[in-house]
Amino acid sequence: MEEKEDQTPKIDLKEEKKREVDLNALFPGKSYDLNHLFPDEGTKKLLHDLKRNKRDIERFINNLHSEEE
Delimit the domains of the chain by residue range: 15-68
Please provide residue 22's backbone torsions phi and psi, each rounded to the nearest 5 degrees. Answer: -95, 100
Q: What is the mean pLDDT of residues 43-58?
A: 94
Chain-centre distance for alpha carbon 61: 22
- The percent of residues in the chain predicted with pLDDT above 70, rounded, is 71
Radius of gyration (C-alpha) of the chain in whole angstroms = 19
Is the pTM for the entire model greater than 0.85?
no
Q: What is the mean pLDDT of residues 17-37?
A: 85
Q: What is the mean pLDDT of residues 8-34?
A: 73
Predicted confidence at residue 26, as pLDDT, reads 87
